Amino acid sequence: MLKAFPEKTPELERYSVITLYCLASLLLDGYAMEGVDEKLRNWFISFETERRAQEGLPDEHKDDQLREYRRLISQSTDAEESVRARLEMMERRFFIAYPDIEPRDGQRAFSHEQRLAIFRRDEGLCQLRLKCDGNRVSWDHWHADHKVAHVKGGKTTVANGQVACPPCNLAKSGHTIDGS
């Protein structure tokens, strides 16, 4: 939240912070999103601008979802049902605005069979070469590394896996080789 809203933002009200925090957590936990903070900030400001513009319209011209959202922020703002309903509405509208967001691969760790295939393909040599020159590793002392980090949407597949000696893998720390 602090990355998305580093400065005081007038659109952030007590009721919206709770719901927005839940949405940010959902996105960070389940989706591979580069620049999630900027997307979340831009989307939320647009959402609030649209919602506030609806306030002066006659009821027959108001968006039904935004009218319901207004009701939810006016009554029982901290009630679980209210937060849940607001989150579902925000989530739905966020994914309409960003339909290309990929869910993260549900499998984080490489299976034994995948590890074996990666080890054999790479001939037990460290592919990262951040702290070594491609050292040979033993079966009991190596890491199966995601070439494209799992947190950045990398799949847990043999094609996206590589042998890494522990010092190189720890030096990588979620970054790709090119530093991103």
> For 67-87, how does the pLDDT look when each residue is reduced to its tens digit (9 = 90+)?
999 889 888 778 889 999 999
Mean pLDDT across 33-57:
89
Could you tell me which residues come within 8 angstroms of residue 122 by beta carbon, excluding any fewer than 6 positions away?
Answer: 162, 163
Check whether 115 has a pLDDT greater than 80. yes
Instruction: State how far Cα 129 lies from the chain centre.
Output: 28
Q: How distant, in Å, are the alpha carbons of 33, 100, 139, 155 from that of 51?
A: 25, 24, 58, 37
Most confident of 14-18, 53-57, 91-95: 91-95
Could you tell me which residues come within 8 angstroms of residue 167 by beta carbon, excluding any fewer than 6 positions away?
Answer: 130, 131, 132
pLDDT mean across residues, the chain: 88
Residue 164 to residue 144: CA distance in whole angstroms: 6
| Closest of 162, 165, 166 to residue 176, by C-alpha | 162
Mean pLDDT across 150-172:
92
Rg (CA), the chain: 22
Locate 97 and state its tokens: 């605005």
Burial class (CB in 10 A: 0-12, 13-18, 19+), 79: exposed
Check whether 180 has a pLDDT greater than 90. no
Check whether 113 has a pLDDT greater than 70. yes
